[in-house]
Amino acid sequence: MAKDRLTPLIVLDLGRDPARTLVRGSLVAGLRDVQEAPAVAEEEGGITVFLGERANRRWYLVITDLDEGTPPLEGKAREDILFVAGECAGLLFNRDLDTVDDPGD
């Protein structure tokens, strides 16, 4: 997979139909060397959570297109995002969704 793009497994897009599936690889740049999940990175307009790694594939929860002026992720909001990330990681790894063939291959 090219570092300039991500290949989404599941997309939930509340802003558009059909869902936007082009995801910039730069969104995970700050987490590419992180070894332990969960890890959170914030950038202008987005939040990324490293969910884990298996079989040389890394998995992230990526939230994009946040409203301008969205406050930094802290307190209850941070706890909520980490809870959702944990649920996603549980589904991904415990239900073997991480073994799905990469559609980009």
Question: How far is residue 1's CA from residue 8's CA, in Å, rounded to a whole number?
Answer: 11
The pLDDT, as a whole number, for residue 3 is: 61
Residue pLDDT, tens place only, 9-18: 889 998 899 9
The parts of the chain modelled with pLDDT lower than 50 are 1, 105
Q: DSSP per residue over 72-92, as a string?
A: PS-HHHHHHHHHHHHHHHHHH
DSSP per-residue letters across the chain: --TTEE--S----SS-SSPP--EEGGGGGGGTT--SS-EEEEETTEEEEEEEEETTEEEEEEE--PPTTPPPS-HHHHHHHHHHHHHHHHHHHHTTGGGSPPTT-
pLDDT reported for residue 46 = 86
Q: Distance between CA atoms of 83 and 68, rounded to whole angstroms?
A: 24
- Predicted local distance difference test score (pLDDT) of residue 26: 87
What are 57-68's pLDDT values in tens digits? 899 999 988 877
